[in-house]
Structure 1
Amino acid sequence: MKQHVSEIQISYSPNIIDTIISHSKSSYDISLSCWNLHTIEIFEEVKIIFLNNALKVIGFYNLSKGGISSTVVDIRLVLSIALKSVATHIILVHNHPSTNLKPSRADMDITQKLKTGCDFLEIKLLDHLIINRESYFSFADEGLL
């Protein structure tokens, strides 16, 4: 019996915008433009911003939606999308529906795991932002990367 092996095909259609991420405030502004502000205080979401080597935004990905106090960050999925989009830099962004911007132990752990994976693949984790509609917490600004 002859077996059929699936061919893996990869395609990529970039739509790079001229916005350059130069600091955490510009990351926050881009993040808010990708968020539904009507639900930002209802459930937790994680989005990833992908950038090229010139720090121009390639795009963003809605990674997960969770409940009131948590959601899932699958490191393998984040890195597979970064590789497929030929991103050289990424920014992890999530909201806290409580509006409390203080990172949890889980936030710290996932940041470290993602940074380790990124380092292995020579992708730079530029920042991890925790956001609400008025402000943000930047792991990079606080020296936590």
Structure 2
Amino acid sequence: MKIAEIKVSFKEQIQVKDTPIISSSKDAFNCFWQSWNHDEIEMRESFYLMLLNRANHVKGIMEVFKGGVSSTPIDAKLIFSIALKTLSSGIIVAHNHPSCSLTPSQPDIQITRKLREGGKLLDISVLDHLIITPEQKFYSFADEGMM
């Protein structure tokens, strides 16, 4: 019988003391904005993941999903597999609205709830979900009491 070998690895390449600390939605927005693909922000939705340690130092930011003009599919299993692999204590997610609307859609609200509930089971804090526009504006689910 043959069974596939499973190998899981992660190596932090930057010392924690050299990474930003997230203490507000504005801090999170600024980090996401620096990492965003600005060539596509007006054309298609993208979904990004910010990984945090227990002290809210940024471990990394990753674009995890790309979609179309008005939506992007989200797979919570992939988000949490990345958070678990990197031993992250918290996450913040963000996606853009090419339309420049800051109003969360029903699917935006549903995925936020799903991630929040999944995080509770895995002991990973889902701290915020940001909606970002090409105009450098953002909506924070946490600031609006929706977390």
Map 1:102-141 → 2, pairs under 5 A: 102-133=103-134, 134-141=136-143
Aligned twin of 2:43: 42
Code of the residue aligned with 2:8 in structure 1: it is I
1:6: how far off? Answer: 1.5
Number of aligned pairs? 143
CA contact (8 A) 2:92 2:127 kept: yes
Q: Which runs of 5+ in 2 are unaligned?
A: none
Code of the residue aligned with 1:136 in structure 2: it is F
CA contact (8 A) 2:19 2:59 kept: no
Per the alignment, in what secondary structure is the counterpart of residue 71 of structure 1?
coil
Map 1:10-29 → 2, pairs under 5 A: 10-16=8-14, 17-29=18-30
1:5: how far off? Answer: 1.1
Code of the residue aligned with 1:31 in structure 2: it is F
Q: Quote the Cα distance in structure 1 between the aligned partners of 2:32 and 2:133.
A: 10
1:38: how far off? Answer: 2.4
Q: Which runs of 5+ in 1 are unaligned?
A: none
1:60: how far off? Answer: 1.3
Code of the residue aligned with 2:91 in structure 1: it is I
Code of the residue aligned with 1:137 in structure 2: it is Y
CA contact (8 A) 1:15 1:58 kept: no
Code of the residue aligned with 1:139 in structure 2: it is F
TM-score, normalised to structure 2's length?
0.94
Q: Quote the Cα distance in structure 2 between the aligned partners of 1:44 and 1:76.
A: 19
Q: Quote the Cα distance in structure 2 between the aligned partners of 1:15 and 1:101.
A: 35
Q: Quote the Cα distance in structure 1 between the aligned partners of 2:125 and 2:67.
A: 26
Code of the residue aligned with 1:39 in structure 2: it is E
% identical aligned pairs: 43
TM-score, normalised to structure 1's length?
0.95
